Amino acid sequence: MPSLYIFLGLLLFSLQAPPCPAATDTLKTGQVLSAGDKLVSRNGKFALGFFNPSANISKSSDNISSSWYIGIWFNKIPVFTVVWVANRERSIAEPDLKLTQLKISQDGNLAIVNHANESIIWSTRIVNRTEASMNTSVLLHDSGNLVIQSTSNAVLWQSFDYPTDVALPNAKIGWNKVTGLNRVGVSKKSLIDMGTGSYSVQLYTNGTRRVTLEHRNPSIEYWYWSPDESGMKIPALKQLLYMNPQTRGLVTPAYVNSSEEEYYSYNSSDESSSTFLLLDINGQIKFNVWSQDKQSWQSLYTQPVDPCRSYDTCGPFTICNGNSQPFCDCMENFTRKSPRDWDLGDRTGGCSRNSPLDCTRNTSSTDIFHPLIHVTLPRNPQTIQEATTQSECAQACLSSCSCTAYSYQNTSTCSIWHDELFSVNQDDGIEIHSQDVLYLRLAAKDLQSLRNNKRKPNVAVVIAASVIGFVLLMVGMFLLIWRNRFKWCGAPLHDGEDSSGIKAFRYNDLVHATKNFSEKLGAGGFGCVFKGMLIDLTTIAVKRLDGDRQGEKQFRAEVSSIGLIQHINLVKLIGFCCEGRKRLLVYEHMLNGSLDAHLFQSNAGTLNWSIRYHIALGVARGLAYLHQSCHECIIHCDIKPQNILLDASFAPKIADFGMAAFVGRDFSRILTTFRGTVGYLAPEWISGVAVTPKVDVYSFGMVLLEIISGRRNSPNEYTSDNYHVSYFPVQAINKLHEGDVRNLVDPQLCDDFSLEEAERVCKVACWCIQDDEHDRPTMSEVVRVLEGMQELEMPPMPRLLAALTKCSDVGSI
């Protein structure tokens, strides 16, 4: 019987409030939009309706949110993407969803109303009320703009004037000089909270004529763009889009400055394409294009490039490193306040202490300080004038319970910080550059855990590595099945992907992508590399392998090694082609070419010391991943500058896995055929014994010496009497023992480098090239040394180098 009453009640309500007709772009007076209904633009591209953001992310099963919003999204794209939200500051709770409707109110405004009590959750505010009447209607345009219009089709209100975190083509970033309306975009709080977040983008209206990115609380500008200073009205947005050649021809920027308005916008030359400009949770502007081929959004341009450039992007007591994934992490002996919020992109809560500080009034503090090296110092320091030494500076901090860190500069400047620490960013070589040291105050009981962290691998890293290893094992099994089924190339999978996500390309498609292999990037022992571009505008590098036997061997080695793994310092294999005897490998394109070109070719420009140091660290991290984090240990076997590629920000990526060898975790070494490049070969290759990952360590040491000096290790020099070899590694270790590392550094740097870092790199290099593999460090140890977390003793002179030195002295070489 009660169910009958409910049915009659719903029936009565449906008679009183006509629903919105299905598949329409218009909401008229007297119609309502309820949960499950939606407006759809005439071209079908956009839809307006109720949505729950947590239902569209992988963590929805955790019941992390029951909040509902009314917004506009891309209707035909399988990845749910919202471009505008009405009630972003007042979400609708799950129990109230059936009681909530979108309709045109009596004053002509569009409103979200709880029909149980007629309370208004959200409403537009029509400025020109003279034309507003009961006959207004709401139209969702093909552009994604939601418009309230009068019977004469005059626009009374539009969503483009009230942006959230997205700007669509033809939307404006700027202000109306007549009404004073300034269109300001504001990031959202998290993946499930559409409320206003920490960052905003807007056009300044004080005559500066520039668009700025700002942190909202406190209000701090951290990035901007503006027209050029020549007076020509080149649109500022053009600077944003012109930087990436993939956006040219796809979008057309515009800048308008009239008596009524000043704004920036862009339009798309291809109406079938889907693009949007996003101010994301991290405070970065991203220009996104939908890739039909990859079925995902591709960010063609991002500013600032370094996510750490955004102000307070990681919250208090965190360190940001643009080269890490994720780029935010807690400081030593701090933990995330809310791991759930971090997973959803909201890191404003930051991290909290594991142990409270010693703030007893009657005794001296027993707290300790932990150095954070090469970081940007936090904001709002307090300068202590009377502290003339570092110990006095430390004591000034210990004397205050609220002091959390100090820094002591070479200029005898003592700075201390109270309470929370913000915007501490690691020198990542992208846009963050700093040689400063911040001394973090910790409880004395944290000292033991600091020691343990240096001795033991991070538990989370071990667990993550185990999980990744298991996943890679499964992927490897699928690849093995796939390989056996199709005999590698007997029946190629055209226009498809294998279980590891590697795409199989048609040969003709790669011919078209490379313009018939017309733009050569380089050549190696097994073939040539050509530049190309896919139909989704992805720039690629295509390696065309030569020689049936060697080409097939390298093809298998590369697909079965780099094809199964991903790391920020390893070049990404996108796909392959094998038709008949044709063997091609498709990689991501590295804009800055090889390290070899930048070190040894004068027309490539000189790499500064900071970039060199981060290249060394990045390569070390990549090798450590290959040796210790993959399911099977992968020995690259051919580490040299030619096989280290540099992306647009000069981040290094190890390439060319055609010689790679695999070592099972149950074995420590492998007997394999001789491979590698003269000048970088470890002694054990020559002796013919089974090799270990330490052969890569030796080659890496040789590369480090070339990074330091900017010269090849063994150039040939002729004298009038005989043929003489000047072997640089001999000079390097001698200079290191003499304490004269400065003379080893590339003179093109003009003494603009860190002597401490140069000595550290030189020590690492000389340990790596020891004769006995057991004397060489592991790549994980190398990473810790380069990060400043571990010290190395002075390395001895290797016996082989000593022999070379003696031979050189008597002129016998």
Helices (H), 209-262: 236-242
Nearest in space to 26 (alpha carbons), one of 83, 103, 92: 103
Work out the number of other CB atoms within 10 angstroms of the CB of residue 519. Answer: 12
Burial class (CB in 10 A: 0-12, 13-18, 19+), 605: exposed
Nearest in space to 424 (alpha carbons), one of 327, 358, 342, 341: 327
- Strands 403-408 vs 437-442: parallel, antiparallel or unpaired: antiparallel
DSSP state of 659: T
- Measured between alpha carbons, how far is 546 from 702 in angstroms, rounded to an integer? 29
Q: From start to end of 15-158, where are the E strands?
A: 26-28, 32-33, 38-40, 46-51, 67-74, 82-85, 92-93, 100-104, 110-114, 119-123, 137-140, 146-149, 155-158
Cβ atoms of 228 and 234 closer than 8 Å: yes
**Which residue is listed with tokens 């190398």?**
782
Tokens of 778: 């592991």
Cβ atoms of 792 and 763 closer than 8 Å: yes
Cβ atoms of 84 and 141 closer than 8 Å: no
Cβ atoms of 41 and 142 closer than 8 Å: yes
Tokens of 340: 């759930």
- Measured between alpha carbons, how far is 772 from 682 in angstroms, rounded to an integer? 9
Nearest in space to 617 (alpha carbons), one of 425, 438, 789: 789
- Measured between alpha carbons, how far is 184 from 215 in angstroms, rounded to an integer? 13
**Cis peptide upstream of residue 652 (ω within 30 degrees of 0):** no
Rg over CA atoms, the chain:
31
- Measured between alpha carbons, how far is 494 from 486 in angstroms, rounded to an integer? 12
User: CA distances (Å), 142 to each of 50, 278, 600, 602, 762, in order?
Assistant: 19, 19, 54, 53, 62
Is 694 marked as a binding-site residue? no
**Complete edge-to-edge strand list for the sheet that includes strand 196-203:** 185-188, 196-203, 211-215, 220-225
Residue 638 annotated in active site: yes
| CA-based torsion, 690, 692, 698, 699: positive or negative | positive
Task: List the catalytic residue out of 37, 165, 346, 638.
Answer: 638
For residue 437, list its beta bridge partners.
373
User: CA distances (Å), 107 to each of 2, 135, 151, 379, in order?
Assistant: 37, 10, 14, 49
Residues with Cβ within 8 Å of 772's Cβ and at least 6 positions away in sequence, in order, are none
Residue at 387: amino acid letter: A
**Complete edge-to-edge strand list for the sheet that includes strand 539-545:** 496-497, 503-504, 573-579, 582-588, 539-545, 527-533, 520-524
Cβ atoms of 646 and 615 closer than 8 Å: yes
Nearest in space to 534 (alpha carbons), one of 575, 583, 499, 493: 575
Category of 380 on φ-ψ map: left (φ > 0), alpha (ψ -120 to 50) or beta: left
- Measured between alpha carbons, how far is 7 from 13 in angstroms, rounded to an integer? 10
Cβ atoms of 398 and 365 closer than 8 Å: yes
Burial class (CB in 10 A: 0-12, 13-18, 19+), 338: middle
For residue 51, list its beta bridge partners.
69
Residue at 731: amino acid letter: Q
- Measured between alpha carbons, how far is 342 from 351 in angstroms, rounded to an integer? 10
Q: Which residues are annotated as a binding site?
A: 543
The residues carrying an active-site annotation are: 638
The annotation places the binding site for ATP at 543
